[in-house]
Structures are given as C-alpha cells and as structure tokens.
Amino acid sequence: MSEKLMVEGRTGPWEVIIGLEVHAQVISEAKLFSGASTAFGAAPNSQVSLVDAAMPGMLPVINRRCVEQAVRTGLALGAEINLMSVFDRKNYFYPDLPAGYQISQFSRPIVGAGTIHLDLPDGATRAVGVTRLHLEQDAGKSIHDRDPSATLVDLNRSGIALMEIVSEPDLRSAEEAGAYMRKLRSILRYIGTCDGNMAEGSMRCDANVSVRRPGESLGTRTETKNLNSVRFLMRAIDYEVQRQIAVLEDGGRIVQETRLFDSARGETRPMRSKEEAHDYRYFPDPDLLPLRLDADWVAAIEATLPELPDAKKARFMADYDLSAYDAGVLVAERANADYFEAVAKGRDAKLAANWVISELFGLLNKAGKSVLDTPVSAAALGGLVDLIGDGTISGRIAKDVFAEMFESGKDAATIIAEKGLEQVSDAGAIEKIADQIIAANPGQVAQYEKNPKVIGWFVGQIMKATRGQANPGVVNQVLLKKLGG
C-alpha cells in the first residue's frame, strides 16, 4: 500500500485500518414498523404509536417504502440485493428501547456487498468495499442533562427506519474516511433515501480504528461513536491513531472498547461502562415473516435511479471538458450539477463552470443559501455569460454586474442598461483616449521603452478613464500599435 498513507511513529511507520458504520435515517413519512410520523422536532412522545411504546400486545407491520429505500440505496451502491432477508431481534435493555429489543437484521441483511468510489485530492479515485446494508429501528432519545437525578425519555425517534451501512475495513486514513462519508452522503441525497444531515442526526457515523506495523496481522480495534460531522470524524480518527500508536510503542496493548469523541477537547475517551460485553441473543423476530422481494419489483426500482455522482462526473469531464476537480465540485450535490448544466447548455462549459464554482457558490455560501433558494437563477446566470461571450461586457465588469444581480434579483441586461456598463469596444474611441494619455505622460512612454511591462500602467489609465468598461483586448491592441511594441 501507498507509503504516503503510513503514519510515522517513534519506532517506525504504522498502517492505519479504518472501517465505518453509518446509520442513515430513511426518508419516509412513517416509521419502519409503525404508522407514526417521522417528522423532526415534534413535542415529546407526540409521534409515538402504541407499537413504538411497546405496549402489551403490540405488533410490527413493515412499511413498504422503507424497504424500497433500502433497495434503492443498495442498487446505487452497486450492491447485491438479497431477495430473501430476515428481521432479527437484538435484545438489550435501555430506557430509549421500549421493547427491550431492537428489530434489526443480523445474519440475512437486505443488501450485500457493494462499492463506494473515493474521490482523492489528486483527481484519482479508489474503490472501497461496502460489506452490507440492513434495515433496523432507531431508538428513542434519552435526555440526561435536564434533571440532575433523572433521565428523561422521548420515544418520538423510536422506530424510525435506519439503514446501517457497513464498510469493509478498506480505509487507510482520516482523509479517506472523510472522502467515503462525503461520497456516501452525496449518493444518498441524490437518490433521496436520506438527507445526510449529520448535525441533525439523520446520518451518524461510528469509526472502527486499528493500527499495525506493515506486514503484520490486524491490530485490536476500537469503536468511536458519537461522530456527527465529517470534521469530527477525521479529528477523532487522527487522535485515536496517535493514541494507539503511542500505547503500542510504549509496549502496551489496545483494549477493544467503545469510545466517545469529545469534540471540545479533540480527544476520544472510553464510554463509561454502558454494558459489559453485549450478548444480544439475536433470533428471527417471530412477529414477522421473512422478507421476500420480487426480482421485477427490484428491477423497477433500479429503473428509477437517477444518474449517480460518479457517472455524472465522468460525463461532465468527457462532454464539458472539465477538470476532475471542477467536475467533482459540481456533482457533489445533484441540485448544483443540474444548475450548472442549465447554465452550460449551449454555452462555453468551462466559462459556465468557472462562474458557478467561483462566483455563484462564493456568494451563496456567504449568504447562507444554496441553489435551491438562489437569487440568481440558472437562466439569469446564463444570460450574463451570454453577454460576456458576445462582448457586451468584459469579464471584470461582469463580476460587478453579478454581485448586483445577486443583491437585487434583477437580470444582467437590466442592470447593464441602468448603469450604462456596456463594454467599450470601439477602437476609435479607445484610440482617442490612448492618444490623450500618451501625450500627457512622456515619462511613462520612456519607461515603457525600457520595460515593456509598463504597458500595464497605460492599460490601467485607459480603464480608469472608461470606468473599467474598455474592452481589454482592444485596449491592448491599440496601445501596442501606438506605443510600438
């Protein structure tokens, strides 16, 4: 493996082995096994059915859409869809688990092995394995900090469908782990099966980390939970890697344990004995039957998949001649890619890409907006690009026009007309101004004869005189002619 991924310890290089377990909340109206709502932010216990509360005699009935969403996700990961899968009970006691068991899938998950392609900084990609994806119930929320002597329990989240997506231990660095999460999140948002909002908890990540000297067998791994941003994931991994290396180089052993990430300190620490080694006593849930999917039904879902990020990126690079980097930035969010294509259609794609990435995204980020609520529509931006293309305005002026479009919502033509910003391309007019400046500045002319770069001063003067609206190409031509170059 690549040596540049090794981490240098005190006694030599170490290889880092990372596997990620992601819990992604499924986009659906109702819960996995109950008809209660999944909407975020409701009053406590107001989105809880008798089934969610595990009242005596309550029984689960599965939500077809949640199954569909899991299949859709599996297909988007290029994974095996298991036409027969089984729901198992995972038995343990915790206040936010009202039945004392979670309905999950253990030995026969709905989705098998798949792949995620990492986009690496140098434009390369690397394929990483996904081991499996299964459906399971989310737990409720335990609130520990409202009352000093009690824990409060809200079951609204209890029973919402989760997809647990497990990667192979193929990741070799925090950066790769970050790239995995970003790509996975992008795919899930593309296909509409999860909104990927880590801050709100609709996508959660646990990191399994171990280290080993090159050539040796796998080291003991720890599991770090509670990672609700990609930044925290990467920092936690870095910390954990350093910690493990230090322990091992000092002759110690790694304890297989669950740890939490303390984002304030940037450290991981062991979870205070939540459980001894769990014995979940998995067995098939006798209130349910095996889930058998029809191959035609799966094929119909596959037919509804949109063009996915990797394919779209490849197409953008091929059809629009974009760099891997630019294409990658544009396809990360489907809405952005669609916006770009609307601007690029029938226009200079590279120019369009530049405007979208450098100008539009910049202003959107500052304003806390996205292409979904952009004040400048793709059509409007396209209009601006057209006006640059046909020489009506220069690129420099266009930036000012764009800022005004963003602010006011007016289109480019209106703003240019109102402010009289048309580019001056008339050679005669520019020659007149050039003559005036040359005549008034013999000293600069002399400087120019010694140093051709001084032409820039003349350009600047003409721009000042024309309020920046002179066509730079024409200005250069005229000056070279007049100054002799």
Partner 1 sequence: MTAPTELTIAEARDALAKGDLSARDLAEAHIKAIEAARDLNAFITETPERALADAEAADARRAKGEPAGALDGIPLAIKDLFCTEGVMTSAGSRILDGFVPPYESTITANLWRAGAGLLGKTNLDEFAMGSSNVTSYAGPVVNPWRRAGDNRPLVPGGSSGGSAAAVAARIALGAIGTDTGGSIRQPAAFCGIVGLKPTYGRCSRWGTVVFASSLDQAGPMTRSVRDAAIMLGAMAGPDARDSTCVDVPVPDYEAGLDAGVKGLRVGIPAEYRIDGTPGEIVALWEQGVAWLREQGAEIVDISLPHTSYALPTYYIVAPAEASSNLSRYDGVKFGLRVPSDDLAEMYEKTRAAGFGDEVKRRVLIGAYVLSAGYYDAYYLKAQRLRTLIAGDFRAAFEGVDVVLTPTAPSAAFAVGEKTDDPIAMYLNDVFTVPASLAGLPAISVPAGLSGDGPPLGLHLIGRPFDEATMLRAAAAIERAAAFSARPGGLGS
Partner 2 sequence: MAIDKTTVAAIARLARIDVPEADRARLAGELSHILTWVEQLAEVDTEGVPPMTSVVEVALPMRDDVVSDGGYPDKVLANAPARDDGFFVVPKVVE
Which residues in this chain contact partner 2 in the complex, by CB under 8 A?
28-30, 34-37, 43-53, 61-67, 86, 93-95, 142-144, 147-155, 260, 271-272, 274, 279, 281, 284, 288-292
Q: How far is the CB of 62 from partner 1 (least distance, A)?
A: 7
Q: Between residues 60 and 196, which has the closer beta carbon with respect to partner 1?
A: 60
| Rounded Cα–Cα distance for residues 139 and 99 (Å) | 10
Within 8 A by CB and 6+ apart from 265, the residues are none
Q: Determine if 153 is a binding residue for partner 1 (CB under 8 A).
A: yes
Could you tell me how many residues make up the chain?
Answer: 485
Closest separation between CB of residue 256 and partner 1, Å? 16
Partner that binds at residue 467, options partner 1, partner 2, none, CB closer than 5 to 8 Å by kind: none
Least Å from the CB of residue 104 to partner 2: 16
Q: How far apart are the first and last CA of the chain?
A: 56
**Which residues on neighbouring strands pair with residue 133, listed in sequence order?**
111, 165
Site string for partner 1, 71-110 (x = CB under 8 A): ------------------x-x-x-x--xxxx---------
- Shortest Å distance, C-beta 90 to partner 2: 13
Phi, psi of 34 (to 5 degrees): -140, 160
**Footprint of partner 1 on residues 113-152 (CB under 8 A)?**
149, 151
Helix/strand/coil (H/E/C) assignment for every residue in 155-221: CCCCCCEEEEEEECCCECCHHHHHHHHHHHHHHHHHHCCCCCCCCCCCEEEEEEEEEECCCCCCCCC
Q: Which of 6, 7, 42, 58 binds partner 1 (CB under 8 A)?
A: 58
Q: Which residue has the tokens 């989105």?
A: 47
Shortest gap between Cβ of 107 and partner 2 (angstroms)? Answer: 12
Sequence-ordered strand ranges (E) for 307-408: none
Query: What phi, psi does 407 have (nearest 5°)?
Result: -70, -45
Q: How far is the CB of 272 from partner 1 (least distance, A)?
A: 13
Binding-site partner at residue 52 among partner 2, partner 1, none, CB < 5 to 8 Å by type: partner 2
Positive or negative torsion for Cα 145, 148, 154, 158: positive
**Closer CB to partner 1, 10 or 146, in the complex:** 146
- Nearer to partner 2 among residue 226 and residue 242 (C-beta): 226
How many residues sit close enough to partner 1 to count as binding (CB under 8 A)?
A: 31
Q: Work out how close the CB of 99 gets to partner 2 at its nearest, in angstroms, rounded to a whole number.
A: 13
Q: How far is the CB of 284 from partner 1 (least distance, A)?
A: 9
Taking the least distance from each CB to partner 1, the nearer of 283 and 325 is: 283
* Sole residue written with tokens 């509670």: 226
Picked from partner 1, partner 2, none, the partner binding residue 101 (CB below 5 to 8 A depending on kind) is partner 1
Closest CA to 261 of 209, 186, 219: 209
Residue 66 interacting entry, from partner 1, partner 2, none, C-beta within 5 to 8 Å by type: partner 2
Amino acid at site 349: A
d(CA 451, CA 312): 49
* H or E element at residue 235: helix 230-249
| Residue with token string 């091992």 | 248
Binding residues for partner 1, rule: CB under 8 A, are 50, 53-62, 89, 91, 93, 95, 98-101, 149, 151, 153, 279, 281-283, 285-289
